[in-house]
Amino acid sequence: MGSPTSAAHTARIMRMLARLHPELWDLFHPHGPVLTTGAAQIRSLDGGSEVALNPQPLPPRELLRFAIRRTTHGVAEATIGAHQSGRDIREIVQEIGDDWCPTPPHRTIPWPKRWPAPWPPGEPSPVDPELATPAVQAAAGLAFQGYADGIADEKLCAAFGELADRLFEAAFRNADYS
């Protein structure tokens, strides 16, 4: 494999920070954090399972975070399945990138066309799209970089890494730091 991408560097920094703040794993690790229970280690595959026990409704930002995580996981798993069945993953990843990295200006939070939106259609966005768009792109980029870092197949690794880089570039382009 070639030199690390900018997304790979960012994911490494996030892993370092997650040692101090384990909740950061929820942002970028596609399979959930490793949970230690006695001598056994397991992966939490459902990042929202602990939330289901809480009767209080989640704030819109938390709902969006869980939707990003579920969607990136679903997109990545579908991409892996398509690759195993012989489909061209570059075409799939390009389409995903086009959905999540639309050419500005765009009025809504970018979201893959074939995946459920983070809230019901027709309802106004509970999160300001101008603030949420770069956050969605960055969080999805971290998740796809997590797949790139953890997969042995070189084609999938490269495709997920390139998608992560594209999402980060779009997030930086859409972010307003003023």
* Buried b or exposed e, range 77-86, using 16+ CB within 10 angstroms: eebbeebeee
* Residues ≥6 apart with Cβ < 8 Å to 37: none
pLDDT at 94: 93
**Domains in the chain: boundaries:** 6-174
Intervals of the chain under pLDDT 70: 1-5, 19-20, 25-56, 104-107, 176-178
User: Is the separation of the CB atoms in 93 and 163 below 8 Å?
Assistant: yes
pLDDT at 55: 63
pLDDT at 155: 94
pLDDT at 1: 40
Token reading at 153: 């197949």
* Residues ≥6 apart with Cβ < 8 Å to 96: 75, 79, 112, 163
Segment 83-103, tens digit of pLDDT? 999 999 999 899 999 999 987
